[in-house]
Amino acid sequence: MHFFRYIMVKDKLLILMIVCVLSNVLLGIFSVDYLRKMSWHASESYTEGLVPIGWLNELEESQRQLDYLVDLAGDYQEMTVILKNAEQPLNHLESLEIDKKTNHQMKKFKTLLAQQVEIIDNYKQLSQNEQQQFYAQSYLPVSQQSHSLLEETQSYLVQRAKEQQQAYQKDVQFGYWLLGGVCLFVVLLVICIGFIATKAVNIPTRQLKSLLKRAEQGDFTANASYVAQDELGEVVLSYNQMVTEVKRLLHTVSNSAHEVEEMTGKLQESSEQSSNTTRKIAKDVQSISHSTAASTQKLASNTASLEEVLNGVQVILEKVQVVENFAHKTARDAESGTEIVQANLTQIQAIKHAVEKSNTAIFNLVERAASIDQMVEVIEKITAQTNLLALNASIEAARAGEHGKGFAVVANEVRKLAEQTVHSTQTITSIVQNIHLDSSYAVQMMEGVLVATEKGVQVTGDTATSFDQILEKVHTIKPYIMEVSATIQEIANHTKKVSEDAVMLTSFSDTNAASTKHVATLTADQLTAQQQFHDYIKELHKVSKVLQVAVKRFSI
């Protein structure tokens, strides 16, 4: 089946069309054969349709013989034999079951035949004259009906067989026409479809073939214009996408080749400049090597001087640190004294406020005591009135006699209460007088305490001011001491660092001297490598030119 790979698509479609036509022809041949068989079956069915006529002819013949015997007054036995012989074809006709009409006529004929048997049975008992009359009146009508029925049935069967044959012939004829029309339609349809399919395949394939030949020659300027939504349309779309990507790729390659050419030119120039620079560096490195050796000797002598300076700075730094420690201690003591004085001042002020509040409370107590005196006077007046009222009540109770005894008891109790009240007010008066005396003494003492407290506040404030001035002086001196200490410390640090750096620089100078020699060697190697790199750049420049020439072969 591999040879189908070498057959073109249009030839494959042509082969497919031929196969379809041949299949249609074979189908027509088989159909014609089937129609011929149907035609033969129509003739055969006509012959089969005429078979019952033979049985009808036998019945017709039997009926004529019977008519003849009855007309001639023949033998009754022969009539009986003829009637029995007529039953056989009649049974055959009934067994065929041709159609309803034929069956109905056969049943009717059978009935007529039974009537004839009955008539014949009556006929044999009559005289000759009566027989003639009976034949004309009874038998002849029945016989005529039988002949008419048989002729009608025979004509019906012949007509039915002809109609069936004609129907079969019409069906066969229609089959021929239908088969011819279908075959012709199928052939035309296959030819049209084959032509359309061949054209649908040829147009895009020819277009693709032409475009591929142009692409083979490097021409990518044209795109396929076939836009059908089928497999070929997808192939054409893929080709257009491929052309677009190839154009983009060629543009990229062309631009890259141009850029590579420009960059290789610049690299070539840079390589030449780098080679010249490397040569100069080699010379400079040798000069640096000699200078480094001289610097190493000078650094060794400077290191010893720096160590002596560092020792002197360390001594100064220790003395300054002692002064700084004293300044810190003085500042801390001054701050502590200030805090203590401030706390004392706060406490004295609190005492002053408490004394002022106590003095105010004592004044309030004196005022309250005065109020109590006034109240006691009022109570004494009320007590005197109450005592007078109790006396009057006793008098009235005495006047009332027996009825005023209870009231007299009440008046007596009121009098006792008034006496107790007088005694209590005297006690209160004595207490209030003592309070007056104590309050006056307390006021005098508080005034003295208040004056002393104010003096303590003033002295403490002066002390706090002195401590503030001391602290201010200490704080003023402290930054200068710290600054001097920090400066000396910084000088010591820098001197130490310079000394260390000098030692390290001496070591580095030795290392640099060795490294400089190594750099000189590497510079020579680098000069050789740059020369090789310069040669590679020249080759790359040539390749970029070749790539540009190759890209120019394509038309985009």
206-218: per-residue pLDDT in tens?
777 777 787 777 7
Q: Indicate the angle between helix axes 76-96 and 9-72, nearest 10 degrees.
A: 160
Count of domains forming the chain: 2
Band (pLDDT 50/70/90 cuts) for residue 227 is low
The structure's pTM equals 0.33
Which of 512, 529, 547 terminates a domain? The answer is: 512
Beta bridge mates, 219: 555
Domain that holds residue 328: 300-512
Q: Are residues 52 and 169 in the same domain?
A: yes
Beta bridge mates, 555: 219
| Whether the Cβ atoms of residue 116 and residue 160 lie closer than 8 Å to each other | no
Q: Are residues 182 and 331 in the same domain?
A: no
Which of 157, 177, 211 terminates a domain? The answer is: 211
CA distance 525 to 518: 11
Least confident of 48-57, 397-406, 500-509: 500-509
Whether 509 shows a pLDDT value over 60: the answer reads: no
Averaged pLDDT for residues 512-524:
64
Residue 249 forms part of a structural domain: no
Q: Are residues 305 and 184 in the same domain?
A: no
Residue 404 forms part of a structural domain: yes
pLDDT score, position 553: 62
How does DSSP assign 321-379, residue by residue?
HHHHHHHHHHHHHHHHHHHHHHHHHHHHHHHHHHHHHHHHHHHHHHHHHHHHHHHHHHH
CA distance 341 to 464: 6
Instruction: Give the up-direction half-sphere exposure of residue 398: CA atoms within 13 A in the CB hemisphere.
Output: 6
The Cα-based distances of 81 to 77, 87, 354 in angstroms read 6, 10, 178
Residue 517 forms part of a structural domain: no
Residue 203 forms part of a structural domain: yes
pLDDT score, position 223: 73
Which of 182, 211, 240 terminates a domain? The answer is: 211
Q: Dig out the tokens for 275 from the structure.
A: 């080679």
For the purposes of burial, counting CB atoms within 10 Å of the CB of 224, is it exposed (0-12), middle (13-18) or buried (19 or more)? buried
Burial 134-150 (b: 16+ CB within 10 A, else e): bbeebbeebbebbbebb
Strand, coil or helix: what is 219?
strand
Band (pLDDT 50/70/90 cuts) for residue 90 is confident
How does DSSP assign 494-509, residue by residue?
HHHHHHHHHHHHHHHH
The Cα-based distances of 315 to 220, 302, 319, 501 in angstroms read 92, 21, 7, 22
Averaged pLDDT for residues 144-159:
84
Band (pLDDT 50/70/90 cuts) for residue 517 is low
Say which CATH number the domain at 451 has: 1.10.287.950
Residue 533 forms part of a structural domain: no
Question: In this prediction, what percent of the chain has a pLDDT beyond 70?
Answer: 55
Angle at CA 366, nearest 5°, toward 363 and 369?
Answer: 150
The Cα-based distances of 327 to 287, 331, 487 in angstroms read 57, 6, 17
Residue 182 forms part of a structural domain: yes
Residue 45 forms part of a structural domain: yes
pLDDT score, position 427: 79
Whether 159 shows a pLDDT value over 80: the answer reads: yes
CA distance 432 to 379: 14
Band (pLDDT 50/70/90 cuts) for residue 330 is low
DSSP structure class, residue 135: I
**Top-confidence range, 152-156, 371-375, 511-515:** 152-156
Residue 14, number of CB atoms within 10 A of its CB: 16
Whether 1 shows a pLDDT value over 50: the answer reads: no
